[in-house]
């Protein structure tokens, strides 16, 4: 029996039906994002990725989670909704315009008090964390050409068995085209190769959304 099942459109629809239902407030946020930012709405994670983030967060019970690339706050709401009592999510983004779309929905979800939004370059935010900071969980979904830099900034503070979830690692199949040399595509290729060679971690790439890699620090 084949180890890989081809993902046809019918099978994809079946798979998406067999997941937890999207909360109405998240559905509203998705719709407002789509109506507010036009073609840029494609940067929002898929519904099934949101469920996966919530499951991972609930299982890990992180005291501190970091999100690099918040966009309109859909993924943030998913992560924050599963944080344990006293848990905190630091969201790193450069855009006040886009993140402001999500803030009212964080309030509607009842998670705004768990989220600390920092509008600044993520590498600066990470560098400014106290030296004794211990990170439990990270969701990385920002500019692809900086993925390796973000990863290296995160890993020293990530606790053993801490987890990094990295979005867009399949990059719409573009990363497999060696002739495609745009910075974002090159960044994804370099990141995937970098993690694969890193003896400090173990990782697996999942066919969820546009590809999601889970990285566990050893």
Using one digit for the tens of pLDDT, what is the confidence trace for 178-216?
A: 777 888 999 999 999 999 999 999 999 999 989 999 999
User: In the predicted model, what is the mean pLDDT of residues 30-57?
Assistant: 95
User: In the predicted model, what is the mean pLDDT of residues 117-142?
Assistant: 98
Does the structure show a pLDDT above 80 at 177? Answer: no
DSSP E strand boundaries for 81-197:
88-93, 115-119, 135-140, 158-167
β-strand partners of 77: none
- Helix 147-154 to helix 183-197 angle (10° resolution) is 40
DSSP E strand boundaries for the chain:
64-68, 88-93, 115-119, 135-140, 158-167, 201-206, 212-217
Contact 125, 92 (CB under 8 A): yes
Does the structure show a pLDDT above 60 at 1? Answer: no
pLDDT bracket for residue 137 (50, 70, 90): very high
């Amino acid at each position: 029996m084949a180890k890989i099942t081809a993902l046809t459109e019918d099978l994809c629809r079946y798979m998406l039906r067999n997941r937890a239902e999207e909360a109405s407030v998240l559905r509203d946020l998705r719709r407002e994002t789509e109506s507010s930012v036009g073609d840029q709405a494609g940067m929002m994670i898929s519904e099934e990725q949101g469920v996966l983030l919530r499951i991972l967060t609930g299982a890990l019970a992180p005291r501190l989670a970091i999100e690099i690339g918040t966009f309109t706050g859909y993924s943030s709401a998913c992560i924050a909704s599963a944080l344990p009592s006293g848990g905190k999510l630091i969201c790193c983004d450069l855009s006040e315009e886009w993140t402001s779309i999500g803030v009212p929905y964080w309030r509607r979800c009842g998670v705004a008090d768990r989220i600390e939004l920092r509008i600044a370059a993520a590498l600066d935010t990470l560098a400014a964390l106290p030296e004794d900071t211990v990170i439990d969980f990270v969701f990385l979904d920002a500019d692809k050409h900086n993925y390796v830099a973000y990863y290296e900034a995160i890993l020293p503070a990530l606790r053993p068995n801490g987890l990094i979830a990295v979005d867009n690692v399949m990059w719409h199949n573009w990363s497999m085209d060696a002739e495609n040399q745009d910075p974002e595509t090159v960044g994804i290729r370099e990141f995937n190769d970098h993690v694969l060679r890193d003896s400090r971690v173990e990782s697996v790439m999942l066919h969820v959304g546009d590809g999601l890699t889970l990285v566990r620090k050893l």
